[in-house]
Structure 1
Amino acid sequence: MSKKIRRSQPLLPGETGRFAAIVSAVILFLAVTPILTMIVMSFSGSANLDFPPSSYSLQWYRAAWQTFVSPDESDVLSLGKAMTTSLMVACLTMIFATLIAVPASYALTRCEFRGKAFAMQLMSLPLVFPMVVLGLALLLVFDSLPFHLSTSRLVIAHVILALPFVIKNCTASMMTIGSEVEEAAQMLGASPTRAIVDVVVPLMKSGILAGMLLAFIVSFNEFTVTYFLYNIDVMTVPIWMYSRTVSSLDPTVFSFAVLIVLIDFVLIWALEKLVGEGGVSF
């Protein structure tokens, strides 16, 4: 009797095999586990940090709210001031990074000059540069200046970190715009600058907005470089949360962390909407 040879059916485009599905599920589980652990611990009803919690309660959320509305006198800085600093630094980082990235992406896309490839690699350097070394280097630079910088030093550092994300998005969006649109605008009487402002920049809107959101997220969550540059009067939310865990772990930190995750989730959801509607991804 001849045996029938069973051949596996080839996968169609868009389909994944069982092995790929298992690997994807494991990677997704490992990525989500710390967040799920943090969320579960924020609802712990016990005073110690046992996982899984023996009981569940909203006590740490009530304590977090009380900390926000009535800060402890022993705290060197209140959460409200730290939140204000984080939002201000993130907004300024988003604005300045965008103002630098838009003309830079235009020059990298439209202009040909010596060292263009090197310039593009140089702008991506903060992505691979060790954050500890970068924070220490910036600290030495700022301390050597003849004048003192407080919040400005954080904005400058965060712009350096966020700039690659904004430039990548703006450049990718710029590459989808042909030079003929500028030529058409100039043929209708617009100056080169007016053609860029009135024609090119609006067509880059999705890439610019995506880069701005990424800059805000990077700045709002930045810790390593900020740790070298903050002072007792200018403290961001990640640094404030870290200060609550230096001597002993404050369980309210988990409640604050859930709030930060929710803010980041909303921003990432908005970013995905931009990407899905014609934006660019990094």
Structure 2
Amino acid sequence: MSLSSNKRLSILPGETGRFAGILSGVILLLAVLPILTMIVMSFSGASNLDFPPSSYSLQWYRAAWHTFVSPDASDVLSLGKAMTTSLLVACLTMVLATLVAVPAAYALVRCEFRGKALALQLMSLPLVFPMVVLGLALLLVFDSLPLQMSFSRLVIAHVILALPFVVKNCTAAMLSIGSEVEEAAQMLGASPQRAILDVVVPLMKSGILAGMLLAFIVSFNEFTVTYFLYTIDVMTVPIWMYSRTVSSLDPTVFSFAVLIVLIDFVLIWALEKLVGEGGVSF
């Protein structure tokens, strides 16, 4: 067969043409370009923020480390306290969302009840609801309560945002588990509750862990809703970083942002490994 005939052959399934490959590369480049720009700027050796930098150094990383270990007296809240708040809120969000999502996923898959379709739609509502409107609505609700809530309202808001991700993953894991496994466990003497805890939940492990990681990532990086609910004493890392850019852009923010990207990268890598080993994604 001649070379010209080979060129006329159609592309086989699973193969991509040159145009598709170039288009995919351009889209990928546009997606990562802001992150690459931020990383390059974090190594700038200049005192201004010109791009590309005229020189490179680690001065902003040294300044960021100094800010972390010896915060300025003018800072209302240190980065260490903000990081502690972010980690606590993310961990509590992860645990609480999972405790709600596992029984919810079981009920949505195994049970038939009136309003099931509506429940599924409402569960996904935070994914499409405007974050600004949601943050304002939650602020009005919490301010109308007689209780003084600062830390807890951040946790509640983040659970609302993360719950759809955990429910979707747990539901997908439940769909792959046939009801015969529970019936077999009950025939062997297990109660319905023990069959769920000892058989169903372990089989949902990959979906549960994937949902937990997504809940942590969503909570740790959440800014819009948190902006309406934070207080001067309870502030997450994204809010703290934003506060460093209000009056003038602090170049150390780029160094802190690289740290956040590294944390997210590790979590996403762990999530991808989990998905590759039989987990589910959303």
- TM normalised by structure 1 equals 0.97
- Give matches, 1:197-236, under 5 Å: 197-236=197-236
1:23 Cα deviation after fit: 1.6
Q: Does 1:188 align with 2:155?
A: no
SS in 2 for 1:146: coil
Could you tell me how far apart the structure 2 residues matched to 1:7 and 1:20 are? Answer: 16
1:26 Cα deviation after fit: 1.0
- Give matches, 1:1-282, under 5 Å: 8-282=8-282
Q: What do residues 24-43 of structure 1 show as CA deviations (whole Å, max 9, x unaligned)?
A: 11110000000000000000
* Distance change >3 Å, CA 7–CA 213, structure 1 → 2: same
- One-letter amino acid matched to 1:23: L
Q: What do residues 185-210 of structure 1 show as CA deviations (whole Å, max 9, x unaligned)?
A: 00000000100000000000000000
SS in 2 for 1:190: coil
Could you tell me how far apart the structure 2 residues matched to 1:185 and 1:95 are? Answer: 27
- One-letter amino acid matched to 1:237: V
Q: What do residues 196-254 of structure 1 show as CA deviations (whole Å, max 9, x unaligned)?
A: 00000000000000000000000000000000000000000000000000000000000
Could you tell me how far apart the structure 1 residues matched to 2:10 and 2:166 are? Answer: 40
Matched pairs, number? 279
Percent identity (aligned)? 87
Could you tell me how far apart the structure 1 residues matched to 2:83 and 2:8 are? Answer: 57
Could you tell me how far apart the structure 1 residues matched to 2:161 and 2:100 are? Answer: 13
- One-letter amino acid matched to 2:66: Q
SS in 2 for 1:53: coil
Which segments of structure 1 move beyond 3 Å, counting only runs of 4 or more? 4-7
1:5 Cα deviation after fit: 7.6
Could you tell me how far apart the structure 2 residues matched to 1:238 and 1:5 are? Answer: 57
Q: Which moved more, 1:210-219 or 1:112-121?
A: 112-121
1:117 Cα deviation after fit: 1.2
Could you tell me how far apart the structure 2 residues matched to 1:227 and 1:10 are? Answer: 53
* Distance change >3 Å, CA 189–CA 38, structure 1 → 2: same
1:114 Cα deviation after fit: 1.4
Could you tell me how far apart the structure 2 residues matched to 1:262 and 1:20 are? Answer: 30
CA RMSD, Structure 1 to Structure 2 (Å): 1.1
1:71 Cα deviation after fit: 0.3
